[in-house]
Structure 1
Amino acid sequence: MDNQLIYRFFRLCLVLLAITCTVLIMTLSWTYLYPFVIALCIAALLQPFIQLLERQMKLSRTFATLVIVLFFCLFMAAFFLLVLVEAIRGVHFLASETPAQLQRLIHHITDQLTLLATPMIHKIEGWLGTMNDTQRHSLTDSIQVLQTKASSFAAGLLQSFLETITSAIASLPMSLTALIVGILATFFFSKDWNKILGVVESLTPRTILEKGGMIPRQLRQTITGIMKAQCILICTSTLLIWVGLTILNVNHVLSITLIAALVDVIPYVGTGVIFIPWAIYSFFSGQFSMTIGLSILYAVIVITRQVLEPKLLASHFGVPPVLLLIGLFLGFQLLGVYGMILSPFVIVTIKTLYTSGLFHLAKSFILGDQK
């Protein structure tokens, strides 16, 4: 009995060691070999298209891989160029127009405050009878000086913030070497994909191979379904934003729509980070029709997303909502926003490992039910 417990403890240590080594290898691989990790993932995504060219157009594996990789690189380059151009235009528009808009907002607020304070001043003056014309002019001058200083401070603060964002964008560590290595690695991984799979299969025990063979297929189906659902949600929100801003006759509709689409990807943030401050600004600046329009547009986006999201995601995650919520919160506590983005994929991976039977296989190994 004691020997059996020792063997079980030893097997448990082996399983924990294997899990720890796997996580450590994945972490170190991403830290030091991230171009190759990204290239491997892209190569896996490009395999159906490469195989399609091989079967339908009777092309060689090398030439089909070259065509698909070049097309993918051109598509991504065009996409990022479009995003970069629109981002530069948006930042330039904000840097040139926002200070003036902010000054008008501060003038409007101070004017309203002055209108509200003047009757009170007259009442106080009537009650106390101590404020003469000189003091009244002094109070008016003080309000104007305060208004000018507040406008200058807010405009300077916003200008510094926008300059910081511009500098951060300009100083992004775009490593040309890593980009070239990643493209070459994607080509070689894609070309030799069948050989890589053969090597992995030859080094993997048959029992694990039979159980683990279900993992890539289920994981690919689940992640593909989740990505399709998110793309549908984001495209729907983007279309609503574009139509709504066009109806409201807003300048730079395309730039604002692209920024809102990018923000909409972040969980629990969404487009509210854009529309709520914008509506508040419009209200305090006296643009009540714009405030109503933005509020209605944001409400339509939120309601549409709340109606579509459960239906689109429920069939793909297959986990209780409370577990998904716990995973999102834990990911945010550990890694911040990146953790919230990655946690659904981690949950899906764990679920796939469970449904594939690997957890049962590990349990059987620990208990000694399986040699």
Structure 2
Amino acid sequence: MNPYLKALWILLLIAAGYFILPHSFPILAALITAVVLEPLVKLLQRLFKMKRIYAVIVSFTSFLLLFGGLLFFITTRIVIEVVELSRWLPGFVLNLADPMREWANNIQAYFSSLPPGSVQNLQSTLTKTIDSLNDLTLYLLNGLVGLIGSLPNLMVIAVVYIMALFLFSLDLPALVRSFLDLFEEKTQAKVRLVLNNLNRAIIGFLQAQVLISFLTYDLVLVGLWILGVKYALAIALIIVIVDVLPVFGTGIVIVPWALYAFATGNSSLAIGLLVLYLVILIFRRIIEPKILGNSLGISALATLISMYLGFMVLGFIGLIVGPTLIILYQALRDAGFFKIHIRL
């Protein structure tokens, strides 16, 4: 092929991916789910001598029943608590303003010797903080209303995901063969080895993330129950979701909450929240690399370094890209694409 024509095709594929990929989430999620379910399909074929279509139907139906049942149970319980929490949150923010004003008055009396400009800056900062809390409350409530309003779109996405999952599961071997046919016969064995390694890595990564999130949720939930916190299910879910975002972390929820508890005289709750935050922090920073390392087949040190460098370079997405590059390099190296020998 003409090199210029080849470069043009590559540019067109990149441009198409740039515009199409952001809208392809249900398709990509269905493909990844089909890859995860493929070992179960093969197991059913081997144990019960099933045709592939019947094995796919059994695994597909089992997945929908299990996932749908868990999703229904969790969402119905959490939605109830989120609705109650949304009713309670505005009053909480308004009540929060009083101790903050009292705290500001005490500070102002204590620092009465300061120049007038400093006192005005303090009052201005307090006012902005209260306004920010009010804005946050409105943002959360609007987000809840927006989520309810987007239910029709979510239903369309869910239907596309379910249909794509079944079709991917049914045609996955044919898709793999079509992809391998793009390579020369002598290269296909290496590419197949890379795909097998990536398949194991994807399944291991998803298993690790689910396990980490599940353990973190259980840890937060038990801690909130011990502290006697209301709406523990919904609050624990919010904390786990925020914990996935390294820019924020659990501190964005727990630390202000603990400060508010101190300001209102509930020192036992404040200390308990800080202890819970410390436990979560230790768990995420120590256990996570170990779980990911074992699941992905790379060392905990390599996982930690790749996640840190990925985050520093690419931000949140780097937490996924970093380990993925390590996995891809290891798969290519095991397949013989990279042979590095240093001779002195």
* TM-score, normalised relative to structure 1: 0.71
Letter in 1 for 2:30: A
Cα distance in 1 for residues equivalent to 2:10 and 2:104: 64
Q: 1:321: how far off?
A: 4.8
The structure-2 alpha-carbon separation of the partners of 1:152 and 1:114, relative to structure 1 and needing over 3 Å to count, comes to: closer
Cα distance in 2 for residues equivalent to 1:21 and 1:353: 26
Cα distance in 2 for residues equivalent to 1:320 and 1:86: 35
Q: 1:99: how far off?
A: 2.9
Contact in 2 for aligned 1:242/1:257 (Cα 8 Å):
yes
Larger Rg: 1
Question: What's the counterpart of residue 31 of structure 2?
Answer: 40
Contact in 1 for aligned 2:26/2:161 (Cα 8 Å):
yes
Higher relative contact order (CA 8 A, sep 6+): 1
Higher mean alpha-carbon deviation, 90-99 vs 22-31, is at 22-31
Question: What's the counterpart of residue 163 of structure 1?
Answer: 141
Contact in 2 for aligned 1:102/1:151 (Cα 8 Å):
no
SS in 2 for 1:358: coil
1:190 aligns with 2:169: yes
Q: Deviations over 1:276-297 (max 9, x none)?
A: 1211221222211111110111
Q: Deviations over 1:123-176 (max 9, x none)?
A: 9xxxxxxxxxxxxxxxxxxxxxxxxx9999678545422332123312337254
Question: What's the counterpart of residue 301 of structure 1?
Answer: 280
Question: What's the counterpart of residue 204 of structure 2?
Answer: 225
Cα distance in 2 for residues equivalent to 1:342 and 1:27: 17
Q: 1:245: how far off?
A: 1.0
Q: 1:267: how far off?
A: 3.6
Cα distance in 2 for residues equivalent to 1:178 and 1:109: 44
Question: What's the counterpart of residue 232 of structure 2?
Answer: 253
**Which 5+ residue runs of structure 2 have no aligned equivalent?**
114-126
Cα distance in 2 for residues equivalent to 1:218 and 1:357: 13
Cα distance in 2 for residues equivalent to 1:314 and 1:198: 30
Contact in 2 for aligned 1:328/1:344 (Cα 8 Å):
no
The structure-2 alpha-carbon separation of the partners of 1:151 and 1:192, relative to structure 1 and needing over 3 Å to count, comes to: closer
Letter in 2 for 1:330: V
- Superposed, 1:336-351 pairs within 5 Å as 337-351=316-330
The structure-2 alpha-carbon separation of the partners of 1:116 and 1:57, relative to structure 1 and needing over 3 Å to count, comes to: same
Letter in 1 for 2:138: S
Letter in 2 for 1:167: V
Contact in 2 for aligned 1:260/1:271 (Cα 8 Å):
yes
Cα distance in 2 for residues equivalent to 1:118 and 1:269: 34
Contact in 1 for aligned 2:258/2:269 (Cα 8 Å):
yes
SS in 1 for 2:220: helix
1:289 aligns with 2:268: yes
- Which of 91, 94, 98 aligns to 2:89? It is 98
Q: 1:32: how far off?
A: 5.7
Question: What's the counterpart of residue 199 of structure 1?
Answer: 178
- Which of 306, 312, 329 aligns to 2:312? It is 329
1:50 aligns with 2:28: no
Letter in 1 for 2:191: G
Number of aligned residues: 322
Cα distance in 2 for residues equivalent to 1:320 and 1:69: 32
* TM-score, normalised relative to structure 2: 0.76
The structure-2 alpha-carbon separation of the partners of 1:237 and 1:32, relative to structure 1 and needing over 3 Å to count, comes to: closer
> CA RMSD of the aligned region, Å?
3.8
